[in-house]
Amino acid sequence: MKTRRTVFLTLVAAIILAAAVFILQKQKIIVPSFQTVHDSYKKSEAVLLDRHGEVVHELRIDEKGRRLDWISLNNISPSLLKAVIHSEDRRFYKHSGIDWKAVVSAALQSPFATTSRGASTITMQLASMLDKRLKPIRQKRTFKQKWIQMRLAREMEQTWTKDNILEAYLNLIALKGELQGIAAASRGLFNKEPGGLNETEASLLASLIRSPNADNNDVARRACVLADFAQFQISCEDIKKLSEKTLLGGYYIRPAIALAPHVASQLLKRGDEKAASTLDGNLQRYALEVLQHQINILKKQNVHDGAILVVENKTGDVLAYVANGDDYSSAVYVDGIKAKRQAGSILKPFLYGLAFEKRILTPASIIDDSPIDISVTGGVYRPKNYDSQFHGLVTARTALASSLNVPSVKTLQLVGIESFLQKLRDLGLEDLNEEEDFYGPSLALGSADVSLWGIVNAYRMLANDGIWSKLRLVPDKDTETSWKKIFSKEASFIVSDVLSDRVARSPTFGLENPLSTRFWTAVKTGTSKDMRDNWCIGYSSQYTVGVWIGNFSGESMWNVSGITGAAPIWIEVMNRLHSRNPGEPKTPPFGIVAKKVELMELRQKRIEWFIKGTEPDVTVVKIQDKQKTDRIIYPVAGTVIALDPDIPDTEQRIFFEAEPRDAGFIWMLDGKVIGNSEEGLSWAPSTGKHALSLVNQEGRAIDSINFEVRGAVAD
């Protein structure tokens, strides 16, 4: 009976094969060439190119699968090639697309057998990948689909080489999860290129082909059998360990190069396979390394994040865009260049530039750096310098270069808050509050939020003689239509000259510090409230570099200033940019004049720059009559003082302060003498409105203010 059944099944198989040959001849088959398949292959990753055409970042743009670069057979491990052939098609190099022996063997299997053996060759499997008509219906192919698959495989063998077939197969095969192709599987599961796969890894990968999502133990058992059949010198125990390690957990494909993720996400949104950028790959890599190094140094001082932006002054091309420290960052997806942070002192150059341009101040103007109280909504604003020291009478040059706060607040009072806000808006600094009362006098010290992108371009404007234009990440994009004049050449030159003056900077920073370069640069640092952010932004004749250091979470740093945090990064990048070409210092424009001035009270002599028409008539300049500085400094005009209900009335006092204390003035409150200004004077407050005057020996009021005391209100 068994012999008869075998003969019958053989006859049936022969009839099926004859019918297959007849049908195959009738089907219209179009076989694509190997080159066509190769050229139509698309990676799931797009690449960002720098200004030299070099890849600086890979970014996934296809969410349906992971496909990496097409890999040639020469770059695939021999162990993997051997394992795949032994697993999928042992007679691959002997048949012509159809393994008839395997077909007959499969046909002779009993329909009631518990297991079945497939007859699809590697060529037939490849054919099914290339022809949409061969997609299985309900996980199985119909007889018609099978015949088309066989015909296509036979035709392919006549026009393709065996190596072409195997290479295409290994690049198109679907493996675990969304991984497609040997390159993606090798990188995703083993974090290595296909050429480096060993026998253990090759056995596992080859065993995944038949059932990509099979149970870990099943894959390991199949790999053990395959390794033994291929005569690999490995143990089954090693295969099981590797299987547990790689197949039980998730997988991750680390980009081959990942230098500019945030630029890539901006420029590769349209699904292009590649995009050109203005970045310089070598500079981008260097800037990232410098940032990571500095963050690592400052980690003990609670610093976890930073950003660097480098632009070319003339074109506005962005050469380096390091939005965070990557692996060193607390939030790798946050773009530290576009994020808004409190500006601190980096807004001061534009404040003084506005005062110079309006001819309210010159670099030689004298400003009093001494305590000042300003009445604001909710109380009194009393600005202090970073070092909590006051320097008395200083020039505007020293006030800006040394970043003194009180002179900046006084300068803001001269130019007006709304005027300054409008200038900041003209600079492209977005999302500033429309109401000037929102910021008040603290705007002079940088209470507004700005991005590194915006503020770096604002400094670039100073480098470009007051002309502003947009920055660009895409090369050859015309920016001329965006050019606009923000400051005059003269005002820009004076601000730049002040920011490059290491002597004027020395009262706060000393002569030797990270802001001192061997070539001409103009630079400013800034630190925001509670040391949450610090900045260093500066420019040469060719480049503008901006650095921000802080925490994306908003946490305060511990004892980190612009000089110790951002400035070391700034000078490293600047030195790199000017290693071969130091550039040239700015030359004074036509409307600038130089004049020797001697400030007698400050004991200073220097040749100072002035916008033509603002220079003093005489060489020796005396400070104006000191009488004009005599004033009440507390309380300030309009102050409202509320008594505290939790403090006994006898313990509540108000202290009156005037400057200078040694002038022998008399205090008068509501028309009555209450003491003199040479000694500290305290007064037991009484509710109501009061008039306070400072009177000289001749009985003339030098200064007068009104204030109000309100009664205690219990909670």
Distances, alpha carbon 80 to alpha carbons 70, 166, 247, in Å: 16, 12, 18
Q: Is residue 43 situated within a structural domain?
A: no
- Sign of the dihedral defined by the CA atoms of residues 237, 238, 241, 243, in that order: negative
DSSP symbols for 380-431: EE----TTS---EEEEHHHHHHTT-HHHHHHHHHHH-HHHHHHHHHHTT--S
Select the highest-mean-pLDDT range: 50-59, 100-109, 328-337: 50-59
Here the tokens at position 331 are: 């939030």
pLDDT at 361 over 50: yes
Give the pLDDT of residue 478. Answer: 62
Band (pLDDT 50/70/90 cuts) for residue 626 is very low
Give the pLDDT of residue 1. Answer: 52
Q: Is residue 252 situated within a structural domain?
A: no
Nearest-angstrom CA–CA distance, 313 and 521: 13
Distances, alpha carbon 559 to alpha carbons 87, 550, 564, in Å: 64, 12, 9
Put the strands of the sheet holding 592-599 in their side by side order: 604-611, 592-599, 620-621
- Same structural domain for residues 449 and 386? yes
Q: Count the domains in the chain.
A: 3
Nearest-angstrom CA–CA distance, 623 and 610: 18
Q: How far is CA 312 from the centre of its chain?
A: 18
Mean pLDDT lowest among 135-144, 500-509, 580-589: 135-144
- The string of pLDDT tens digits covering residues 63-117 is 788 888 899 999 999 999 999 998 888 888 888 777 676 666 655 554 444 444 4
- The string of pLDDT tens digits covering residues 659-704 is 766 567 888 888 788 888 766 678 888 888 888 888 877 677 777 7
- Same structural domain for residues 652 and 594? no
- The string of pLDDT tens digits covering residues 469-519 is 999 999 876 655 678 999 999 999 999 999 999 988 888 777 777 788 999
Mean pLDDT of 707-715: 66
Put the strands of the sheet holding 672-676 in their side by side order: 640-642, 701-710, 688-695, 666-669, 672-676
- Same structural domain for residues 424 and 549? yes
Give the pLDDT of residue 319. Answer: 98
Band (pLDDT 50/70/90 cuts) for residue 292 is very high
Nearest-angstrom CA–CA distance, 56 and 661: 65
pLDDT at 627 over 50: no
Residues 6 or more apart in contact with residue 705 via CB below 8 angstroms = 632, 635, 636, 637, 638, 639, 691, 692
CB-based contact 524:509 (threshold 8 Å): no
Helical residues (DSSP H) of 416-566, grouped into ranges: 417-426, 452-463, 489-499, 502-509
Give the pLDDT of residue 487. Answer: 96
* Closest listed residue to residue 336, CA positions, set 364, 378, 303: 303
Q: Which has more confidence, 142 or 282?
A: 282
Give the pLDDT of residue 144. Answer: 72
Q: Is residue 266 situated within a structural domain?
A: no
pLDDT at 147 over 50: yes
Q: Which has more confidence, 389 or 245?
A: 245
Instruction: Using the structure block, give the residue that is written with the tokens 């530039």.
Output: 353
Select the highest-mean-pLDDT range: 119-128, 353-362, 696-705: 353-362
**Phi and psi at residue 701, to the nearest 5°:** -70, 120
Mean pLDDT of 626-646: 68
Q: Is residue 269 situated within a structural domain?
A: no
Nearest-angstrom CA–CA distance, 432 and 425: 7
Please give the model's pTM, rounded to 2 decimal places.
Answer: 0.77
pLDDT at 658 over 90: no
Give the pLDDT of residue 714. Answer: 41
Give the pLDDT of residue 103. Answer: 63
Q: Is residue 216 situated within a structural domain?
A: yes
- Same structural domain for residues 573 and 677? no
Nearest-angstrom CA–CA distance, 56 and 280: 9
- Same structural domain for residues 384 and 518? yes
**Phi and psi at residue 605, to the nearest 5°:** -130, 130
CATH number of domain containing 706: 2.60.40.10
Give the pLDDT of residue 48. Answer: 93
Nearest-angstrom CA–CA distance, 451 and 470: 14
Q: Which has more confidence, 323 or 139?
A: 323
Band (pLDDT 50/70/90 cuts) for residue 363 is very high
CB-based contact 474:359 (threshold 8 Å): no
Q: What is the mean pLDDT of the chain?
A: 83
- Same structural domain for residues 317 and 435? yes
- Domain containing 547 equals 308-611
Select the highest-mean-pLDDT range: 174-178, 544-548, 653-657: 544-548
Helix, strand, coil percentages, rounded to 5, for the chain: 40, 20, 40
Q: Is residue 392 situated within a structural domain?
A: yes
Q: Is residue 40 situated within a structural domain?
A: no
Terminal-residue alpha carbon distance, the chain:
106
Mean pLDDT lowest among 453-467, 573-587, 662-676: 662-676
pLDDT at 26 over 60: no
- Same structural domain for residues 312 and 241? no
- Same structural domain for residues 549 and 573? yes
Burial class, 511, CB count within 10 angstroms (exposed 0-12 / middle 13-18 / buried 19+): exposed
Mean pLDDT of 434-447: 80
Q: Is residue 621 situated within a structural domain?
A: no
Select the highest-mean-pLDDT range: 137-146, 219-228, 279-288, 527-536: 279-288
CATH number of domain containing 459: 3.40.710.10
Give the pLDDT of residue 467. Answer: 96
Residues 6 or more apart in contact with residue 661 via CB below 8 angstroms = 677, 678
Quote the DSSP letter at residue 194: G
Q: Which has more confidence, 477 or 188?
A: 188
DSSP symbols for 605-640: EEEEEEETT-S-SSSEEPPP-GGGG-EEEESPTT-E
Band (pLDDT 50/70/90 cuts) for residue 628 is very low
Nearest-angstrom CA–CA distance, 343 and 439: 12
- Same structural domain for residues 534 and 651? no
Share of the chain above pLDDT 90, in %: 35
Give the pLDDT of residue 567. Answer: 93
Mean pLDDT lowest among 317-321, 333-337, 652-656: 652-656
Mean pLDDT of 195-204: 90
Here the tokens at position 16 are: 């099926």
- Same structural domain for residues 553 and 598? yes
- Same structural domain for residues 552 and 454? yes
Band (pLDDT 50/70/90 cuts) for residue 625 is very low
- Same structural domain for residues 527 and 642? no
Give the pLDDT of residue 611. Answer: 94
Q: How many CA atoms lie within 13 A of 276 on its CB side?
A: 9
